[in-house]
Chain A
Amino acid sequence: MIRRPSAEECPTSSAPRRRRLRWWRWRRRRRRRSSGSCQGQQADPFGGPPARRGAAPRGPMAMNYNAKDEVDGGPPCAPGGTAKTRRPDNTAFKQQRLPAWQPILTAGTVLPIFFIIGLIFIPIGIGIFVTSNNIREIEIDYTGTEPSSPCNKCLSPDVTPCICTINFTLEKSFEGNVFMYYGLSNFYQNHRRYVKSRDDSQLNGDSSALLNPSKECEPYRRNEDKPIAPCGAIANSMFNDTLELFLIGNDSYPMPIALKKKGIAWWTDKNVKFRNPPGGDNNLEERFKGTTKPVNWLKPVYMLDSDQDNNGFINEDFIVWMRTAALPTFRKLYRLIERKSDLHPTLPAGRYYLNITYNYPVHYFDGRKRMILSTISWMGGKNPFLGIAYIAVGSISFLLGVVLLLILFKGRKSTAELGKLLGRPSSSASIVNHM
């Protein structure tokens, strides 16, 4: 009993297989050309140039495969042999032999990533960190819960209107454009009941929604049978403190700082998403006819601003408020202080006072109110997190790279001989490319 040594026992690498596939295709083409006679098949299959190409280092192996091909290909000249066969198609996909890139992630290929990451992340992190540190920012809390605070008097609802003033000093001047924010704490603008309590169709100027606001707006949908415009809890609770900034000059004559109202909302919000109801020429009041103001508002929506481009639903303070914040402590852009000239800082160092028309009660829910002045860089406001994170990740990655490299070098010495003994391409070459 004689058992053939099987071809499958040979260690196979992917390279000859690729060749085999190509050779197979080539052979088929050739057979078609010489159709009708069996001579095509008789021709030495190993003599063809395509088989030779690149096959030199593994000659015997390639021959082995070609010989097997001959069997696989079936008798090409057998009459009717191929007519009805259930032989599975020899396509790369069906045989799970699609050409593929087979990355072998060895320490050799992955380690450089650590160094590259380190080398890229650390400079970026330093850049961000420096930029962030150069940003000037001042935060003034004017909630007034402390008795000493000038705004303490405003906590009682009886005093209306209540105006309080807070003094502060800028140690360094603010260069470039300065942005004025108001910040609220413990205010859950992201509460689900709150977030959905709005009607975007109404805000988009849909006249039917104007008079019949969405049910989502409950309980701020109607007031005494009149639809509320804008309806919903978000609109109803719009921030309505007025903040004014004065520079106390040397000559005890306070100079008001010009605060720009426009340009604080997203362009798309202002121009597309929010629209006043149609009709009625320029008379906004006419367009909002039949609606009533939100319960908590002092003025109806068409009297938010005297500027027609900033009135009604397209009032930018309103739009900014309507973009609900992600977290319970948040800031919203209130005003812009534009740089006037290159020579003078926008806000020079000195004493200022903040004039607040205190309307918005936050102490009921233990909240805080703040006014923030901040300059801005290319990456936005002051944010030490990003810079520190980049530096940290970069350093860790670099350090790990070094540690792993040391470990590997230690290990490699002992395995070097074995690697040679093994001599397999997969262990040394990191990437076997099939394509």
Chain B
Amino acid sequence: MQMVPSLPPASECAGEEKRVGTRTVFVGNHPVSETEAYIAQRFCDNRIVSSKYTLWNFLPKNLFEQFRRIANFYFLIIFLVQVTVDTPTSPVTSGLPLFFVITVTAIKQGYEDWLRHRADNEVNKSTVYIIENAKRVRKESEKIKVGDVVEVQADETFPCDLILLSSCTTDGTCYVTTASLDGESNCKTHYAVRDTVALCTAESIDTLRAAIECEQPQPDLYKFVGRINIYSNSLEAVARSLGPENLLLKGATLKNTKKIYGVAVYTGMETKMALNYQGKSQKRSAVEKSINAFLIVYLFILLTKAAVCTTLKYVWQSTPYNDEPWYNQKTQKERETLKVLKMFTDFLSFMVLFNFIIPVSMYVTVEMQKFLGSFFISWDKDFYDEEINEGALVNTSDLNEELGQLCLMVKLYSVDYVFTDKTGTLTENSMEFIECCIDGHKYKGVTQEVDGLSQTDGPLTYFDKADKNREELFLRALCLCHTVEIKTNDAVDGATESAELTYISSSPDEIALVKGAKKYGFTFLGNRNGHMRVENQRKEIEEYELLHTLNFDAVRRRMSVIVKTQEGDILLFCKGADSAVFPRVQNHEIELTKVHVERNAMDGYRTLCVAFKEIAPDDYERINRQLIEAKMALQDREEKMEKVFDDIETNMNLIGATAVEDKLQDQAAETIEALHAAGLKVWVLTGDKMETAKSTCYACRLFQTNTELLELTTKTIEESERKEDRLHELLIEYRKKLLHEFPKSTRSLKKAWTEHQEYGLIIDGSTLSLILNSSQDSSSNNYKSIFLQICMKCTAVLCCRMAPLQKAQIVRMVKNLKGSPITLSIGDGANDVSMILESHVGIGIKGKEGRQAARNSDYSVPKFKHLKKLLLAHGHLYYVRIAHLVQYFFYKNLCFILPQFLYQFFCGFSQQPLYDAAYLTMYNICFTSLPILAYSLLEQHINVDTLTSDPRLYMKISGNAMLQLSPFLYWTFLAAFEGTVFFFGTYFLFQTASLEENGKVYGNWTFGTIVFTVLVFTVTLKLALDTRFWTWINHFVIWGSLAFYVFFSFFWGGIIWPFLKQQRMYFVFAQMLSSVSTWLAIILLIFISLFPEILLIVLKNVRRRSARSNLSCRRASDSLSARPSVRPLLLRTFSDESNVL
């Protein structure tokens, strides 16, 4: 026995680098034999630690993590500068908001961590029973060590990853539901190794001497390879293979089984659940990139301002009477400071003075907007699906990663490419058995259903009858070759026969097939003791011993079973895709069936071919050995298995084919049309046959009747001898065609879609790999670029026969295109996960193929049709909201700081703040934050319904339109204009002797307050002008903010504040308002500032009016030539066939 001792994990439990090699686990921690010394290995204990902090390290660790964010760090630096250097504003002005933000975040994270602690404790302290020295010992869950034998009762969750030893049933199976892991609520059967099945008591299990070798922990829930060596008294070890079907995962629940014994193999943080717990990589949105770009611009402005002021200050001070006039002398200390140092601190002081240009509150507001805004998606009742009783889910907001995750929210807007899976996404994935063909004879069951199960020998409405034996063989094959299980409501045996049978399977096709077989009189009755029971047409029960199941996988695209009949014959039944089966059967049989298969595929049905083979007993011995060997392998098990399977599944006899219909999802076509109209390019990536996929694409109007199809498939290429040459030729030809069609019109590409001939591209997996991995290294890039050029010019692309990884490959390829388009992937199955993770926005459909896609996605919705509203309405609105929010924030802070900058020219560049410290602090926190937050949550510049019904509106915001340079410049110039107006308006106002009728004069604080009042009102009213959706909340916050400003100003100036050093603002505001001139000036300045905005609205209106008239024209003509919305699928498919190149 080869011992590969794994390194004892150090302090870190689940280190990535430790996951190589294998680990050896001694069952019950008993040494397996006296000869071999028992080496106690150190594994992780079974404590789950999902919490990030402890009581002691919370403060430092949390602070460290928070200040790792650039924005926070920037504010910390500003704060520290304020504390150390003599700066114009008190440290409170920036310290308080920063403290607030940090505290709130810390409290939030602390609370979440406390919740995690509590959850951890609940798990860790829960009681489990461990068999120690033949006794059942009660322990806390966290005390479980690797190698402990654990007893789990029914309806309990497994405390760690266990290898099932025995389940106190005769066959050593147990039922498990993994709802909490992957959302699949059906019961799954897990098996014990045959040799340990009998060990049903604590005493007997304690006698077991065995060692388990298995791979190091890895996060894939559905993968496990291991081997158990059982030492009976003879010292001769019996080795058995272990697979995922032997492994009970932590977090899953035991069902329908009294109790089980299992040995812990992975504990604590090394369990598959814990390994899966880790968050996903951060996806960053274009909005955030824009924010960062703007940030850099504003940082640059800030630095420039500070530098200009510092320079001018020293120029100004070069005249001695300016530097130190008699009335304003420096202190001794100031005189003695080094000039360089002074310049540096002056620079910092100016930075601090102007630092409000990048406010803390922007980050807070942006995050709040994203967090709160995401709720609207999960709240939307249009996303609610009656069937699964669930609505949409925003996965990303669950993760407490702060910015990056939530940014996804806004990414919805700017999607350029939509990649969609076909099965389960475009289609229902609710399969219905339509017809079958046996030996080329078509069977279409029509009458059977009416008569129900009892129908036995009655004549079926066959179009033509195949040989009775062949027919039965075919139906038996359908009944046997699958992994369907029967759901039993209670564990009592025999209940299966009476009640109606409910089939459970991970693949809906199989259920459809089994149900189809039932229609023809062959009923699958379930599995008992490794025997499959089938009721035949004569109501006799046939039993087949299930010898091997050669599982389905996406690469082989077929599955097989090897069964032994009651007579002792060994049969292999295989079903799979035609391309996978045809090469493996005798040639002469193919032709008849092929016709059927092709026609069925054209009709949009999913076809499977069924084949069988008789295995001679001698052959079986060999096969059996090979299979067991392969299953036993610890390394490269998959490859070995595949090879063996490949060998076995040869020289089969084709019996027939089935056709299963996968219904198109509700409104799939409308959704695709809407996405097209919205300027999105929709690519369908599917694993299905080309014909099936193509007809589905026609059905859901991805291709239209007038779409010219360009095909790059094995069919078009195979004809020539040299595939690559032919491919090259085709590529060049297509490109020529497309370039001719769009003569250098890249700028009006979107327009071109509606006006020119449309092209669709079909490519299949093998051709794609030919293009991507072309052997000619020199030309491979060339191929790729030509291919991409073609792709970009096509309205729709259909990629069929795609392996999951190829899907991701395509997404990556498009992602890296010039201009880095935003990609969205939508899919429902496990095969879409890679694509969902790869793309910018991943959307999962809570379909029938389990919850893997939904779990890995950023959003999940119940149906494909929901994508329309998600993108067109939610995405659009979120984008407009967040874009406006960002622009507005920069805008309002530029007009806030600009007067302060201008004031430096009039106060000898002395860093004198224009506004009082309270105003500086409160401006972003209280006076102007709520209206924009309300706006950014509630604004609907266009109605949700209009947005959904007119996809063209989506194009308006495509390409990050609202955060491009020109809108940014517009906002910046507007802010600069307004800031200038505020300052110089007040400046000219102050040229007079007095503003009051009693001749009294105002000071600098009144000056600042007038500017500030105009500022607050203008900025708020500007938002009011932009608001197109005035709910009571908007009214409340907008008018409330202004009222609060006035109230606060009165209050702040109404009291001599004992804690303030200077009573600068005492009665300044009230005094200011007692002057008529000030009122007039404030009103005038507000109006002047808003004037350009109002003017722009009118001008835009004039333009929009003409644009709209154009649009209405086009719409009118559209409706005239509108396609009939309901068209028989067949008609379309066949008539369109002629368009194919």
Contact = CB atoms under 8 A, between A and B. Distances in A.
Contact of B1030 (A102, A233, A336): A102
B907 A190 contact: yes
A134 interface: no
A33 interface: no
A327 B1113 CA distance: 60
Given A98-B1032, A105-B1097, A192 B1112 contact: no
Nearest to A415: B1109
A46 B110 CA distance: 54
A105 B1101 contact: yes
Contact of A179 (B999, B1004, B1063, B1070): B999
Interface stretch (B174-182, B356-364, B374-382): B374-382
B949 interface: yes
Contact of A100 (B379, B667, B877, B1031): B1031
Contacts of B381: 72, 87-90, 94-95
B990 A96 contact: no
A381 B999 contact: yes
Contacts, number: 323
Contacts of A5: 1125-1126
A222 to B, nearest CB: 12
Contact of A264 (B375, B1000, B1076): B1000
Contacts of B664: 1, 3
A327 B990 contact: yes
A194 B1098 CA distance: 48
- Tell which of A1, A3, A323, A326 has the most Cβ of chain B within 10 Å: A326
Contacts of B1025: 105
A232 B667 CA distance: 79
B384 A87 contact: yes
B607 to A, nearest CB: 18
A377 interface: yes
A90 B670 CA distance: 25
A188 interface: yes
Given A365-B326, A386-B1084, A376 B997 contact: yes
B85 to A, nearest CB: 13
Contacts of A121: 1084, 1087
Contacts of B1029: 100, 102
A98 B1094 contact: no
B1095 interface: yes
Contacts of B1030: 100-103
B494 interface: no
B795 interface: no
A386 B1084 CA distance: 9
B1056 interface: yes
Interface residues of A, number: 122
Contact of A364 (B325, B332, B938, B1006): B325
B1102 interface: yes
A14 B1003 contact: no
Contact of B1080 (A264, A332, A386, A397): A386
B1119 to A, nearest CB: 11
A104 B1025 CA distance: 10
B1001 interface: yes
Given A3-B669, A88-B381, A265 B1000 contact: yes
A99 B1030 CA distance: 8
A170 to B, nearest CB: 17
Interface stretch (A146-154, A241-249, A298-306, A403-411): A403-411
Nearest to A329: B991
Nearest to A272: B1056
Given A192-B910, A198-B1062, A233-B328, A422 B1112 contact: yes
B1000 A383 contact: no
A257 to B, nearest CB: 16
Nearest to A416: B1109
- Tell which of A10, A192, A214, A419 has the most Cβ of chain B within 10 Å: A192
Nearest to A137: B993
A325 B993 CA distance: 11
Contacts of A214: 1061
A366 interface: yes
B1088 interface: yes
B667 A6 contact: yes
Interface in A188-210: 188-201, 204
A110 B1094 CA distance: 7
Contacts of A393: 1084, 1087-1088, 1091
B650 interface: no
B327 A324 contact: no
Interface string B976-1001: 00000000010111111111111111
Contacts of B391: 86-88
B322 interface: yes
A113 interface: yes
A6 B1108 contact: no
A216 B88 CA distance: 12
A3 B1126 contact: yes
B921 interface: no
Contacts of A103: 1028, 1030
B993 A179 contact: yes
A357 B806 CA distance: 95
A418 B1112 contact: yes
Contacts of B1094: 110, 113-114
Interface string B1040-1081: 000000000000000010001111001100110001110011
B945 A17 contact: yes
A110 B1095 CA distance: 9
Contacts of B401: none
B1002 interface: yes
Contacts of B1002: 323, 326
A191 B1061 contact: no
A99 B509 CA distance: 47
A376 B999 CA distance: 7
B738 to A, nearest CB: 31
B1007 A326 contact: yes
Nearest to B669: A3
Interface in B303-335: 321-322, 325-332
B1105 interface: yes
B1033 interface: yes
A343 interface: no
Nearest to B388: A86
Interface in B64-95: 88
Nearest to A183: B993
A7 B320 CA distance: 80
A272 B940 CA distance: 51
A181 B321 contact: no
A148 B245 CA distance: 112
A367 to B, nearest CB: 9
A219 interface: yes
Interface in A164-195: 177, 179, 181, 187-195
A189 B1108 CA distance: 58
Contacts of A382: 992-993
Contacts of B911: 192
B1097 A200 contact: no
A99 B1031 contact: yes
A198 B1101 CA distance: 55
B995 A380 contact: yes
B948 interface: yes
A21 interface: no
A268 interface: yes
Contacts of B1031: 98-100
A86 B389 contact: yes
A5 B670 CA distance: 9
14 contacts: A9-B670, A96-B376, A96-B380, A96-B940, A100-B1031, A192-B911, A200-B1063, A237-B327, A265-B1000, A326-B1004, A328-B908, A379-B997, A382-B993, A383-B1077
Given A200-B1063, A327-B990, 6 more contacts: A8-B948, A268-B1070, A380-B1075, A380-B1077, A382-B993, A389-B1084
The 6 closest A-B pairs by CB, nearest first: A237-B327, A326-B1007, A381-B993, A383-B992, A94-B379, A179-B999
